[in-house]
Amino acid sequence: MPTGISAVLVFAVGGYAVYDRFIKEDSGIAACKAMSEDKQIDGSPKGSDAGDDDLSEAEYREARKIFEDSRHDKIREHGTALMDLLWRVQQMPEDDGGALAFIGPMGTHVSGLQTACADEGFIIKLDS
């Protein structure tokens, strides 16, 4: 490979790495920011889904990916766990009391996500 092409390739790869790591907003931080502004994690207004609180599988996967792609360990850990718990509870039959078993882990991950977002400067309230 000619030297000029190698240099351009190295510069392009390095430039993308800088953009991806330092310039592009982290998806977990964007979710924290949205929640601190009382919006949904994707930045859309709350209540824009006509009152339907249930997630479709596609919405669950999209919401989980927002946290999964975060560069911040605690946001990634608590955000993905919280999405997984919400999805699992939603899939349970309504008359099944098994959802009570998830209260402890749910509290752990809600408070963990609040703390992780606060550590990055975003105060969120997840109880509404």
Give Cβ neighbours of residue 98 (< 8 Å, ≥ 6 apart): 92
Closest CA to 113 of 81, 87, 75, 85: 75
The pLDDT tens digits of the residues spanning 77-94 come to: 999 999 999 999 998 887
**Contact, 105 vs 77, CB < 8 A?**
no
Question: pTM above 0.85?
Answer: no
Residues of the chain with pLDDT under 70: 1-24, 48-53, 126-128
